[in-house]
Structure 1
Amino acid sequence: MIKIDDKLIDHLSKLARLTFEESEKLKSDLQKIIDYFEILSEVDIESLEPMYTPIEEPCKLRVSEPKSYDNVESIIENFPEKEGRFIKVPSIYG
């Protein structure tokens, strides 16, 4: 059984370059997490096959087909700003 103590908290804070105001609460929370994982380690999983994803069926993608629009001019008319037949956007180079 792993025990969370002040020495471990100091070590973790140095590694993470963090300071903890409530080290007692942190110790308690970390101990609860470790205890939970120890409970999980007791579960017999020898007979289970590894799962790589919880979704059994593969994702079905739609076929990507080009579409032609009859009223391109009305689409262009709805552009907030345009230059000729192109959408005008702010420059990224400032």
Structure 2
Amino acid sequence: MRERPHEQVIADGKAGPLAHLPSGKFNANAAWLILWAMAHNLLRAAGALASAFHAKATNTTIRSHLVHIPARIARSARRLTLHLHRR
């Protein structure tokens, strides 16, 4: 997998949780940075597994295409089924 330029990674972070930095408290800054790094890595992994397009996409695009998908959960015979929109 090809790495993204550092500038794009920093821009993705500033558009999200890193906008809260600096808060004036070291522990709060450290927590935001750790949580952002974990979320960023999980989104990048999901994007790489989804498609070549999503492997290069920004975090915002991955969230809108893969994470924020409306669905309906149905329970039947002790099974959960996820019903997605046809579009």
* TM-score under structure 2 length normalisation: 0.29
Q: Which has the higher strand share?
A: 2
Higher-Rg member (1/2): 1
Q: Which has the higher helix share?
A: 2
* TM-score under structure 1 length normalisation: 0.28
